[in-house]
Structure 1
């Protein structure tokens, strides 16, 4: 039987991306503990950035999947805890540096008109050899994503208003509309900033500049 270590599990979880921020869950500081017990069963204690995250179950599934990629791992149990509460200070130094680098010299696109906008997915989906998925924009910049985000990106066909996308996302996640409205708005903005969503007839020219 292969020897499974907590470090090996942690390294594998670095492939698991946070659903809202382009960082992995280790960099985000979401992993609070990893215990390898008898028979190479693995217990993972983690948190999320918000208790109302609609991708709660999806992220647990992703964590389980990446943990099981480590040779020798048997069963994986993921426990979500809310204490200590996650804050920006929970992030690793590497994660904080990446966030800082993302903001330097960057701009945000003009606000989306959520009543009239018809978001159109752009770029392409790339399936990695390890089974992970990456959305790549026209500049070949890749963003690792999970199935829920891929499904949402595909539903942005340039013919649906944001209200329709909210309904679809609620159905896909099995949650109530009110639970996913904020998440959809954030996803649209993040995918747009990553060059993976276009808003026809609405300029992408930035109107807000981050301070350096």
Structure 2
């Protein structure tokens, strides 16, 4: 009988919480396991919240994996909700602390942080952010996105986020779409409701997105910043001084000139600008020619000017074509990098270029000690 019970426990160890990405046994979600003489197994599972949107997935996985154990005739799942004490213990287990810390600024953090910015709106910054995140996840990285464009949030739609964020004690669990963890103010306001906040409120919201959200061990965190160099850009520089800046522009000279200002903020914040992306570069014609609807040279101009201003090379990472699939994918929550095409190839190449540098060894336990 002990071997039978061990097999059931092993099956439960393979049930992974869809949002936290850890076994439900490790998270303390398995309240009880009862086995009857005829092989019926009843599993008590405590959810993190009563309205957990993924409770059906957890129930299905428990039934499927436990039913595969030889000798099990039926599986029943009794759902409950964690107590406040359990939630507090879970938060401490996941984060290792109770105070509000931003994990990405700690010396042992190995997460690359990219702030995607632009000088003006309408250049496709959010769609670029969503596709870079999906491309990085497709390449096997653990990725998170913060929709820092508080007034003009659009990342949840572009990544197809359907589930709300959940809360455990004072910790927020971000929903996952296309293997990307996502956090946006859009998850907390009713549809059509404007966000009317001054600078201090914006700063507080951004800090909460970074400190109170359980991101886990990320390889990359992308921030979709609002256009310009206002309150949010300043707050990000204060909260994440290690963030690397990616500037998005169009070929149009007027857009390029404004984009330079967004990149030049690095002269004051001491952050590094790692590259420029020129979006809407051209429309591919059937005869193979390129129709440059918005002119040409804007991305290279931004690259050259920032390189001169910052005194290090700021490369032009890509010239992304106008692609109907890119727009349709953004509207439908299905990023174009998951579909293919020229725009997808360009964005995947940028994602690979941004993350090709190995994560550093600073803060990592190398398993050695002095003699």
TM-score, normalised by the number of residues in structure 1: 0.55
Contact 2:114/2:221 (<8 A) preserved: no
Q: In 2 relative to 1, CA 122–58 (structure 1 residues): closer, same or farther, beyond 3 Å?
A: same
Q: Provide the rounded CA distance (Å) in 2 between the counterparts of 1:78 and 1:195.
A: 35
Q: Provide the rounded CA distance (Å) in 1 between the counterparts of 2:89 and 2:59.
A: 22
Q: Secondary structure at the match of 1:17?
A: coil
Q: In 2 relative to 1, CA 201–37 (structure 1 residues): closer, same or farther, beyond 3 Å?
A: same
Q: Quote how far apart the aligned CAs of 1:80 are.
A: 0.5
Q: Deviations over 1:78-104 (max 9, x none)?
A: 01012645314258xxx93x754xx67
**1:163 aligned to which of 149, 152, 157:** 157
Q: Which residue of 2 aligns with 1:109?
A: 113
Q: Secondary structure at the match of 1:117?
A: helix
Query: What is the 5 A alignment of 1:64-75?
Result: 64-75=63-74
Q: Which residue of 2 aligns with 1:18?
A: 17
Q: Provide the rounded CA distance (Å) in 2 between the counterparts of 1:29 and 1:17.
A: 12
User: Comparing both chains, which one has the higher relative contact order based on Cα–Cα distances under 8 Å and sequence gaps of 6 or more?
Assistant: 1
Q: In 2 relative to 1, CA 34–111 (structure 1 residues): closer, same or farther, beyond 3 Å?
A: farther
Q: Provide the rounded CA distance (Å) in 2 between the counterparts of 1:64 and 1:165.
A: 30
Q: Provide the rounded CA distance (Å) in 2 between the counterparts of 1:186 and 1:20.
A: 6
Contact 2:44/2:77 (<8 A) preserved: yes
Q: Quote how far apart the aligned CAs of 1:57 are.
A: 0.6
Q: In 2 relative to 1, CA 77–137 (structure 1 residues): closer, same or farther, beyond 3 Å?
A: same
Q: Provide the rounded CA distance (Å) in 2 between the counterparts of 1:197 and 1:5.
A: 43
User: What is the root-mean-square deviation of aligned Cα atoms in Å?
Assistant: 4.5
Q: Secondary structure at the match of 1:87?
A: helix
TM-score, normalised by the number of residues in structure 2: 0.34
Q: Secondary structure at the match of 2:240?
A: strand
Q: Which residue of 2 aligns with 1:61?
A: 60
Q: Which residue of 2 aligns with 1:89?
A: 89
Q: In 2 relative to 1, CA 83–207 (structure 1 residues): closer, same or farther, beyond 3 Å?
A: closer
Q: Provide the rounded CA distance (Å) in 1 between the counterparts of 2:8 and 2:159.
A: 35
Q: Which residue of 2 aligns with 1:189?
A: 181
Contact 1:14/1:25 (<8 A) preserved: yes
Q: Which residue of 2 aligns with 1:122?
A: 135
Structure 1: gaps spanning 5 or more residues: 126-135, 142-159, 171-179
Q: Which residue of 1 aligns with 2:140?
A: 137
Structure 2: gaps spanning 5 or more residues: 97-102, 118-123, 143-153, 167-172, 183-214, 227-238, 243-362, 364-371
Q: Deviations over 1:121-143 (max 9, x none)?
A: 23678xxxxxxxxxx725xx8xx
Q: Larger Rg: 1 or 2?
A: 2
Aligned length: 161
